Amino acid sequence: MRMLDGIELSEYAKRREAVLKSLKGSVGLVFAGDHPPPLRGDWDPNFHFLYLTGILDEVGAMVFFDPTAPDPDKRIILFLRPTNPEQDIWDGLREPLGQALREKTGFKTVMRTTMLPRLLTEAARRSKKLALLHPIANYNAPIGPDYELFQKVAARLPGCGIEDRADLIVGMRQIKSPAEIRQIEAAIKATKSGIERLWKSLKPGVSERTLHQELIRGFEDAGSKRVAFDPIVGSGANGVILHYKQNDQIAQDGDLMVLDCGASINGYAADVTRSFPVNGKFTDDQREVFTTVLKAQEAAIKAIKPGAMMSDADKAARRVLEKAGFGDYMPHGIGHHLGLETHDPGLYHEELKPGMVVTIEPGVYLPHKGIGVRIEDDILVTKEGNRNLSAGIPKSAAEMERVSK
Ligand code: GLY
Ligand code: MN
Ligand code: MN
């Protein structure tokens, strides 16, 4: 079993205890997911499961919350799929149940999923309340895994209800602990290392591919083993494409480049964007757009504080863009929560609280001029207001004119 580094076992245990308490007597299940490991890239567990366990590679695992269990040690159970020697030939050996596994995971009780039907039915008979902890699916998406299972349980048990508690773990995940903030800061440091390494190779005629490779080497130099998302290394007209990731063109003299990237450290993401001239000198048009986007970003960051909402930051940025005549050229939102996922769960119209980390990333895209500018930083909400965690990565116009060789 592989586990995330960087967060103590005791912190995972505290998170689970907090869920148990908040369930107020209802039974809950959090699934790791059971899609098969892909040939390309890592298998990622469901992020709620990862948040509660740190376990990276147990396909089909679950965390079971049963506040009504008579034995206190059985109120939170880690369920793992039975071992299968045939499958282990493909995926590697899995540990047997026992003390060593309990110590490694920090769970007092670890069982095989073959036991779940009986335990879940017993729990449901005692509690009569099953709580949905996974996100509620839109009607055109597959039903959530907990709802699918709970419907079967409830169909066999008169008086058993199913309740929506999908905001519970989302709310917990939004407030980052000091240990989580340290991981995000480390991811930002690795991102800085990558960006600065890329800048060392930046000049007209260099390929986006070479720059991409330098970026990744710079992440790795700083201890990152994977990217938080596919980086966007977009020169000229490619910088206008919001999700450009081919990174296979040549950066030309006179192009602006949009570099949107993030390293991942111990499962936590960074997400930073810088925009700079490939030849070290903004044209007048480029400078006008750049200066406006930077001003919009500063206004939006200023709006980030406890009690404010992401929508307030969005409005602050758009006011600046509109005044400069670019009001129609930011087709995306101002940002998103950041954490285990690059796009961590969170809503536009909910109050920001200390401990939340969000991105602020206004942009202006002018396809008719081949000019795209986005500037993105990672902002921690503090009691006093906010702290820009990625402030150490240069971004001013003067600095951006110095990064090209
Ligand atoms: N690169 C994805 C984002 O900025 O949201
Ligand atoms: Mn980004
Ligand atoms: Mn972002």
Query: Ligand 1, residues 229, 241, 373: which to mutate, most atoms within 8 A of Cβ?
Result: 229
Helix (H, G, I), strand (E, B) or coil at 54: coil
Could you tell me how far CA 87 lies from the centroid of its own chain?
A: 30
Q: CB within 6 Å of ligand 1 — which residues?
A: 229, 260, 271, 342, 361, 376
Distance 253 CA to ligand 1 centre (A): 26
Report, as an integer, the average pLDDT of 152-162: 97
Q: What is the pLDDT of residues 102-123, one digit of tens each?
A: 999 999 999 999 999 999 999 9
Residue 178 in this model has a pLDDT that exceeds 80: yes
Closest Cα to residue 294, out of 192, 155, 395, 218? 395
**Nearest ligand 1 atom to alpha carbon 332:** 5
Residue 405 in this model has a pLDDT that exceeds 80: no
Report the alpha-carbon distance of residue 261 to residue 187 in Å, rounded: 11
**Nearest ligand 1 atom to alpha carbon 261:** 1
User: What is the pairing mode between strands 232-235 and 256-261?
Assistant: antiparallel
Distance 260 CA to ligand 1 centre (A): 7
pLDDT-based confidence at residue 391 (cuts at 50, 70, 90)? very high
- The count of residues in the chain is 405
Q: pLDDT above 70 covers what percent of the chain?
A: 100
Do residues 390 and 308 lie in contact, with contact meaning Cβ atoms separated by under 8 Å?
no
Report the alpha-carbon distance of residue 89 to residue 283 in Å, rounded: 59
Min mean pLDDT across 52-56, 177-181, 198-202, 234-238 is at 234-238
Closest Cα to residue 153, out of 257, 26, 248, 34? 26
pLDDT-based confidence at residue 154 (cuts at 50, 70, 90)? very high
pLDDT recorded at residue 42: 84
Q: What's the whole-number average pLDDT of the chain?
A: 96
Q: What is the pLDDT of residues 249-262, one digit of tens each?
A: 999 999 999 999 99
Closest Cα to residue 183, out of 51, 345, 297, 56? 51
pLDDT recorded at residue 304: 98
Report, as an integer, the average pLDDT of 377-405: 96
Q: What is the pLDDT of residues 279-307, one digit of tens each?
A: 999 999 999 999 999 999 999 999 999 99
Report, as an integer, the average pLDDT of 205-215: 98
pLDDT recorded at residue 41: 82
pLDDT recorded at residue 394: 98
pLDDT recorded at residue 92: 87
Which CATH number applies to 9-173: 3.30.420.40, 3.40.30.10, 3.50.30.30, 3.40.350.10?
3.40.350.10
Q: What is the pLDDT of residues 36-90, one digit of tens each?
A: 778 888 889 999 999 999 999 999 999 999 999 999 999 999 999 999 999 889 8
Task: List the domain boundaries for the chain.
Answer: 9-173, 175-403
Could you tell me how far CA 100 lies from the centroid of its own chain?
A: 31
pLDDT recorded at residue 354: 98
Residue 321 in this model has a pLDDT that exceeds 90: yes
Residue 378 in this model has a pLDDT that exceeds 90: yes
Ligand 1, atom 4: closest residue by C-alpha: 271
**Nearest ligand 1 atom to alpha carbon 335:** 5
pLDDT recorded at residue 36: 78
Report the alpha-carbon distance of residue 169 to residue 157 in Å, rounded: 27
Query: Ligand 1, residues 376, 377, 378, 379: which to mutate, most atoms within 8 A of Cβ?
Result: 376
Helix (H, G, I), strand (E, B) or coil at 171: helix
Residue 335 in this model has a pLDDT that exceeds 90: yes
Ligand 1, atom 3: closest residue by C-alpha: 271
Q: Does domain 175-403 have CATH number 3.40.605.10?
A: no
Q: pLDDT above 90 covers what percent of the chain?
A: 95
Residue 352 in this model has a pLDDT that exceeds 80: yes
